[in-house]
């Protein structure tokens, strides 16, 4: 089924495809429950269905979930406890001047939320994540713990080969648990499923870019985050239904400005904050909240004899920009500017987790470039457990008002 499939008009949709409001409400509610289920119940149920199934947790930002699927596993994203988990023990493991997510992940582990996980993967992004993997090892949480380095050399014969070795390493860990031999056919089948997943997500973003009122940002967030907690086959079915739903002429446009949110790719803002940005007068038409699920742009080749090489090549050649990638030949500030242009957005909201070095170190680079390019922006910091954001809401409201009032003025005029 090609991308064009979803660009149908309402009159061409089958009766079954025209989803009723009640059905979509139930679907979105289910997604919300999966997204914030700190007991990872769907993964637990899925694992209990067959004896050789494994559940593997991965931390942000990106991890090639295809390889876990091919090895008979369910990859499950771990994004911390948000504002739903009170930190009691986690603070003892970390100094006060780092971000919040490692404390809540440790808290989840110590409170046995992760007991049914077989292993954990910590993709390299920063020292905090590296240290968190060390604590998991020390505490012997799970049957394996892998700190996964990603290539910073973008030559396929150097960085690509290294990346394949890292993936092989993980497959060996899983084989030691379930004895599963991974074949190219199984990997290609997994690649196909995740290609479809990424394609459907991008279709939803494309439709929302034009008609953002058809799906609220919090619903989009729930739908995407649910995909990190359930099997990809189930997530693809949900995405198809959402795609069909938002092709309908529903909702009423409001007087809001389109913006892109950038910088919240690891520790997640509370749901209240995600909602507040739209309530304050913006439509968020692109964001990096669930960056890992959208990291590879376009399809990965699903027809080769060496699918690990195909996955590595896709990472090297088709990655979205990210604070975890050193991309001197392809500067991220211009890549973000292109997203702003593509989405026809009026500005950017830089939202960084407090003490998040990767996000905060990139912010001035983006902002310097945007001053020159005339792209409007504001910046603030958040913490996953903070649900007080009156000031941020006022800031975002003033930002959207200023864009509406001085739409035709160059950005420098607003900042000066």
Nearer to ligand SF4, 121 or 126 (CB): 126
Closest approach, Cβ 369 to ligand SF4, in A, equals 21
By CB under 6 A, which span of 145-153, 309-317, 334-342, 355-363 interacts with ligand SF4?
355-363
Distance, CA of 118 to CA of 251 (rounded, Å): 44
Task: Choose, by CB under 6 A, the member of 24, 204, 226, 353 that binds ligand SF4.
Answer: 353
Compute the least distance from the CB of residue 138 to ligand SF4, in Å: 18
DSSP state of 319: B
Helix (H, G, I), strand (E, B) or coil at 286: strand
Pick the piece of the chain touching ligand SF4 (CB under 6 A) from 6-14, 120-128, 154-162, 281-289.
120-128
Q: Could you say whether residue 108 binds ligand SF4 (CB under 6 A)? A: no
Tokens of 36: 């914030």
Tell me the torsion sign for CA atoms 381, 101, 314, 326.
positive
Report the residue number, 124 or 304, with the smaller CB distance to ligand SF4. Answer: 124
Q: Which residue has the tokens 């995407």?
A: 224
Q: Are 189 and 212 in contact (CB under 8 A)?
A: no
Beta bridge partners of 75: 56
CA angle 47, 48, 52 (to 5 degrees): 60
State yes or no: residue 310 binds ligand SF4 (CB under 6 A).
no
Report in angstroms how near the CB of residue 367 gets to ligand SF4 at its nearest.
18
Closest separation in Å from C-beta 323 to ligand SF4: 7
Tokens of 360: 């905060």
CB of 384 to ligand SF4, least distance (A): 9
Q: Residue 31 interacts with ligand SF4 (CB under 6 A)? A: no
> Which two structure tokens, joined as six digits, stand for 384?
């996953």
What are the structure tokens assigned to 57, written together? 């947790």
How far apart are CB 353 and ligand SF4 at their closest, in Å? 4
**What is the 8-class DSSP label of residue 209?**
H
Residue 356 binding ligand SF4, by CB under 6 A:
yes
74 or 356: CB nearest ligand SF4? 356
CB 132 within 8 A of CB 122: yes
By CB under 6 A, residue 357 contacts ligand SF4 = yes
The reply on whether position 101 binds ligand SF4 by CB under 6 A is yes
**Residue placing its CB nearer to ligand SF4 in the complex, 281 or 358:** 358
Question: In 3-state terms, what secondary structure has residue 364?
Answer: helix
Q: Pick the binder of ligand SF4 from 76, 106, 108, 125 (CB under 6 A).
A: 125
Closest to ligand SF4 by CB, 30 vs 357, is: 357
Round to whole Å and give the CA distance between 352 and 263.
5
Q: Are 315 and 163 a contacting pair, CB within 8 Å?
A: yes
Residue 152 dihedral angles phi and psi, to the nearest 5°: -110, -5
For the record, the structure tokens of 242 come out as 């959402």
Rounded Cα distance, 69 and 121, in Å: 14
Q: Give the range of 42-50, 285-293, 354-362, 364-372 binding ligand SF4 by CB under 6 A.
A: 354-362
Q: Tell me the C-alpha distance between 296 and 355, whole Å.
A: 27
Query: E strands within 129-263?
Result: 144-148, 257-262
99 part of the interface to ligand SF4, by CB under 6 A: yes
Residue 60 or 307: the one with the smaller Cβ distance to ligand SF4 is 60
Q: Which of 105, 106, 129, 311 binds ligand SF4 (CB under 6 A)?
A: 129
Binding characters for ligand SF4, 239-278, by CB under 6 A (x = yes): ---------------------------xx-----------
78 scored as a contact of ligand SF4 (CB under 6 A): no
CB closer to ligand SF4 out of 131 and 209: 131
Q: Of the candidates 70, 114, 128, 312, which one interacts with ligand SF4 according to CB under 6 A?
A: 128
The residues near 84 (Cβ < 8 Å, ≥ 6 apart) are 36, 38
Minimum distance from CB of 357 to ligand SF4 (Å)?
Answer: 5
Q: How far is the CB of 202 from ligand SF4 (least distance, A)?
A: 24
| DSSP code string of 344-360 | T-SEEEEEEETT-HHHH
Dig out the tokens for 116 from the structure: 């049914």
Which residues sit at the interface with ligand SF4, rule CB under 6 A?
99, 101, 125-126, 128-129, 266-267, 353, 356-359
């Amino acid at each position: 089924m090609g991308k064009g499939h979803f660009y149908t008009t309402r009159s061409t949709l089958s009766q079954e495809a025209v989803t009723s409001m009640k059905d979509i409400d139930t679907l979105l509610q289910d997604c919300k429950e999966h997204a914030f289920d700190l007991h990872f119940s769907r993964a637990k149920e899925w694992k209990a269905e067959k004896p050789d199934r494994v559940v593997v947790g991965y931390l942000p930002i990106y991890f090639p979930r295809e390889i876990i699927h091919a090895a008979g596993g369910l990859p499950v994203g771990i994004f911390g406890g948000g504002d739903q988990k009170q930190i009691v023990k986690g603070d003892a493991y970390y100094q006060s001047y780092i971000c919040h997510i490692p404390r809540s992940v440790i808290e989840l582990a110590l409170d046995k939320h992760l007991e049914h996980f077989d292993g954990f993967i910590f993709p390299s992004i920063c020292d905090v994540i590296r240290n968190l993997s060390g604590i998991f090892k020390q505490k012997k949480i799970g049957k394996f713990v892998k700190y996964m380095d990603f290539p910073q050399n973008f030559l396929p014969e150097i960085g690509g080969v290294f990346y394949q070795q890292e993936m092989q390493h993980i497959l060996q860990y899983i084989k030691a648990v379930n004895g599963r031999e991974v074949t190219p056919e199984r990997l290609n089948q997994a690649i196909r499923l995740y290609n479809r997943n990424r394609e459907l997500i991008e279709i939803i973003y494309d439709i929302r870019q034009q008609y953002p009122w058809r799906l609220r940002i919090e619903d989009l967030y729930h739908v995407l985050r649910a995909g990190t907690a359930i099997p990809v086959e189930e997530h693809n079915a949900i995405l198809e239904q959402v795609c069909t739903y938002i092709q309908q002429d529903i909702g009423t446009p409001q007087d809001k400005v389109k913006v892109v949110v950038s910088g919240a790719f690891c520790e997640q803002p509370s749901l209240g904050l995600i909602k507040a940005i739209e309530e304050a007068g913006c439509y968020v038409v692109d964001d990096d909240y669930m960056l890992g699920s959208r990291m590879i742009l376009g399809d990965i080749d699903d027809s080769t004899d060496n699918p690990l090489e195909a996955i590595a090549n896709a990472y090297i050649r088709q990655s979205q920009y990210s604070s975890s990638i050193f991309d001197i030949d392809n500067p991220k500030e211009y890549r973000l500017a292109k997203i702003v242009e593509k989405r026809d957005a009026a500005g950017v909201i830089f939202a960084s987790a407090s003490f998040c070095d990767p996000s905060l170190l990139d912010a001035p680079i983006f902002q310097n470039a945007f001053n020159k390019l005339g792209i409007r922006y504001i910046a603030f910091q958040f913490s996953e457990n903070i649900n007080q954001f009156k000031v941020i809401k006022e800031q975002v409201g003033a930002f959207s008002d200023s864009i509406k009032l001085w739409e035709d003025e160059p950005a420098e005029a607003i900042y000066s």
